[in-house]
Amino acid sequence: MNENEILKEYFGHTSFRGKQEPIIKAVLAGRDVLGVMPTGAGKSVCYQVPALMLDGLTIVISPLISLMKDQVNSLWQAGVRAGLINSSLTAEQAKQTYRAAYSGELDILYVAPERLMSDGFLNMARSVKIAQVTVDEAHCISHWGQDFRPSYLKISEFIDNLPERPVVSAFTATATAQVRQDIKRLLRLKVPFEAVSGFDRRNLRFTVYNPKKKYEKLAGILANNRDKCIIVYCLTRKNTEDVCAKLCAAGFNATRYHAGLSDAERRKNQEDFIYDRKNIMVATNAFGMGIDKSNVGLVVHYNMPKNIESYYQEAGRAGRDGSEAECIMLFNASDVRTNRFLIDNGDSFNPDLTPQMREDIRKKDIMRLNKMTDYCRTSLCYRKYILDYFGDTAPDYCGNCSNCLADFDAVDITVEAQKIISCVYRIRQRGKKYARATLADILLGADNKKIRESGMDKLTTYGIMSDSTKDDIYEIINFLKEQKYLAEEGEFSLIDITEFSADIVKRKKRLTMKHKKRLTEEQKNISVVYDIDFNLFAKLKSLRAETAAEEKVPAYVVFSDAALRDMCRKLPRDIPAFLNVSGVGRLKAQKYGEEFCACIREYLRDLS
């Protein structure tokens, strides 16, 4: 079979998406590959399809047990022979997997990076034909990536120990240009085919709130979304415990996940969420990377994460099947302080990092935190801000984020901008630079020790904006940074003038800024409408749940929500028609087709 036939036979799709096909053709031609594709774009197909066509075993290096389990489960459901090697296996289970690999009974073998150089795995890898080594979550190899893992640095050594060098493919959802260079260099990719898909997830709506009472806001959001699978991300274990306890006491069907729980409890809680026994998962970032649950309809960040890479990856757990979904951030200033503390006190336990490496990573993390904070405060389109960060292009208006949907006033800030830039210039003349908070204090005329001792209370611009609020000044400073009239430097986010500052002060350029009004109730409650019969959709979901319970697999492994919606649109009554449903391959049609077609036939009979 060719790649298109494989795609339909095993994965139930009639055509490839985005950069999938050229990546697959490159792998089949023997070229190394670097694929940067957003969550939900189908990275796994790019190495799974070649794995079924190449002569030999494909080894997939993956950082999380949960990812491997989900992938292997789904692959067996599709008729693909897959296995895994990680710390969750008993000794006997590991032996069985090794025996299957030795005897050629596996097409794909997932492995944790820590196991690569173990004697057992290395002996197996040297004894069988390895056709492809795939590195998933490849950003983990870079010091500048958001999830650096020293164990990933052993991958090139593992490949060097193989009798023949296989094709090496590397994939990640989020990587800046610097991280992409690191991946190619550290994995020693040979003239790789590089495919960087657009980072845009058009099915996701981005919203940022700055609530005074976070929990009350969260509870209200969840109350309006009781029918959805939801992830609530918290920054710390304590927040995770507190939020989950409050939600459960309020009658929400929630569970929790963080590194402080026992392995058994984490596993149980994760399975409760994956198998839809609980519809809300409250978790730290220990949960989620590689989770293949396709029907998450809402991701709420109870706290701001420390960088945009992490945020976009975590928010991307929503809508993996292509369905419309929401990503909501609940932000306040305490999140910045907490993240700064975690950055300043992180990674010190890691013996694989030198002091210089730790300091370099810390400084980079602070700069990324500043970018994340600016995202939460921007008046620009949230989607554009994210895509600009990753070097992608985007229009100024997306129509699917709270900034684009909000009502704005156009405010002339020319005079205020002149005052702020003049103050920065006067501070600079004294040989100083300050962060936003101190700059605002000087403009407001605050009387504090730092300002008095530095002599900043003697500036002509001291107190020049005493009739404003600190929040107003912050908003204008952020706008001036976005428009390049001010710059932010270093880990302490010191504000400085730019080559464009004179346009405002000397050339009297007029500036108008969007000032956000409160969202109307109608805008807050915009809901996604699908052109399907929801009564039939409910019946198909119920049948899917029964089938999944019988087979002891998550419901989305049987069929995704997107596949059920396509059934509602196409109304297949027999197996040939059922095979035309997106996401239905030959094996699934054989296993489930008659039951689901019968359900549709019965429903249509009842309507007539």
Burial class (CB in 10 A: 0-12, 13-18, 19+), 474: middle
Pick the CATH number of 534-607 from 3.20.170.30, 1.10.150.80, 3.30.2320.80, 3.40.47.10: 1.10.150.80
Residues 6+ apart with CB under 8 A from 128: 56, 57, 101, 102, 104
Classify strands 512-516 and 408-412 as parallel, antiparallel or unpaired.
Answer: antiparallel
**For the segment 99-114, what is each residue's pLDDT rounded down to a tens digit?**
999 999 999 999 999 9
Query: CATH 3.40.50.300 residue ranges in the chain?
Result: 3-196, 204-405
Q: For residue 408, what pLDDT is reported? A: 65
- Residue 458 DSSP class: G
Q: How confident is the model at residue 64 (pLDDT cuts 50, 70, 90)?
A: confident
Residues 6+ apart with CB under 8 A from 130: 56, 57, 58, 59, 162, 164, 166
> Could you tell me the CA-to-CA distances from 103 to 48, 248, 398, 415 in Å, in that order?
20, 49, 53, 77
Question: d(Cα 377, Cα 493) in Å, to the nearest integer?
Answer: 15
Residues 6+ apart with CB under 8 A from 360: 143
H/E element holding 325? strand 325-330
**For the segment 461-520, what is each residue's pLDDT rounded down to a tens digit?**
999 999 999 888 998 998 899 888 999 887 778 999 999 999 998 888 888 887 765 544
Q: How confident is the model at residue 529 (pLDDT cuts 50, 70, 90)?
A: very low
- Angle subtended by helix axes 237-249 and 214-223, to nearest 10: 50
Burial track 1-19 (b if 16+ CB lie within 10 A, e otherwise): eebeebbbebbbbeebebb
Could you tell me the two tokens for 503? Answer: 């346009």
Q: For residue 528, what pLDDT is reported? A: 46
Q: How confident is the model at residue 434 (pLDDT cuts 50, 70, 90)?
A: very high
Could you identify the residue written with the tokens 């040939």? 576
Q: For residue 492, what pLDDT is reported? A: 79
Q: For residue 131, what pLDDT is reported? A: 96
- Other Cβ atoms within 10 Å of 579 Cβ, number: 18
Q: What is the CATH number of domain 3-196?
A: 3.40.50.300
User: Average pLDDT of 546-556?
Assistant: 85
Nearest to 219 by CA among 302, 297, 279, 285: 302
User: Average pLDDT of 271-295?
Assistant: 83
Residues 6+ apart with CB under 8 A from 458: none
Residues 6+ apart with CB under 8 A from 517: 406, 407, 408, 409
The better pLDDT of the pair 463, 523 is held by: 463
pLDDT surpassing 50 at residue 259: yes
pLDDT surpassing 90 at residue 41: no
Q: For residue 69, what pLDDT is reported? A: 80
Q: By the 8 A CB rule, do 509 and 480 touch?
A: no
Q: For residue 292, what pLDDT is reported? A: 65
Pick the CATH number of 204-405 from 3.10.310.30, 3.10.180.10, 3.30.1360.70, 3.40.50.300: 3.40.50.300
Query: CATH 1.10.150.80 residue ranges in the chain?
Result: 534-607
Q: By the 8 A CB rule, do 331 and 208 touch?
A: yes
Q: By the 8 A CB rule, do 287 and 349 touch?
A: no
Q: By the 8 A CB rule, do 539 and 599 touch?
A: yes
- Other Cβ atoms within 10 Å of 510 Cβ, number: 10
Question: d(Cα 394, Cα 388) in Å, to the nearest integer?
Answer: 7
Q: How far is CA 400 from the centre of its chain?
A: 18
Could you tell me the two tokens for 370? Answer: 């500043």
Q: For residue 348, what pLDDT is reported? A: 45
The better pLDDT of the pair 522, 196 is held by: 196
**For the segment 21-33, what is each residue's pLDDT rounded down to a tens digit?**
999 999 999 999 9
Question: d(Cα 405, Cα 4) in Å, to the nearest integer?
Answer: 40
HEC string of 272-300? HHHCCCCCEEEECCCCCCCCCCCCEEEEE
Beta bridge partners of 84: 110
Nearest to 180 by CA among 445, 391, 18, 363: 391
pLDDT surpassing 90 at residue 522: no
Mean pLDDT of the chain: 88
Question: d(Cα 349, Cα 336) in Å, to the nearest integer?
Answer: 23
**pTM higher than 0.75:** no
Topology annotation, domain 408-516: Arc Repressor Mutant, subunit A (1.10.10)
Angle at 332 between CA 329 and CA 336, to 5 degrees: 100
> Mapping DSSP to helix (H, G, I), strand (E, B) and coil, where does residue 196 land?
strand
**For the segment 166-186, what is each residue's pLDDT rounded down to a tens digit?**
999 999 987 888 889 999 999
Percent pLDDT > 90 in the chain is 56
Angle at 77 between CA 71 and CA 78, to 5 degrees: 90
User: Average pLDDT of 269-273?
Assistant: 91
- Other Cβ atoms within 10 Å of 391 Cβ, number: 12
Nearest to 7 by CA among 18, 20, 574: 20
Q: How far is CA 297 from the centre of its chain?
A: 14
Q: By the 8 A CB rule, do 441 and 426 touch?
A: no
Could you tell me the two tokens for 434? Answer: 């300050």
Q: For residue 84, what pLDDT is reported? A: 93
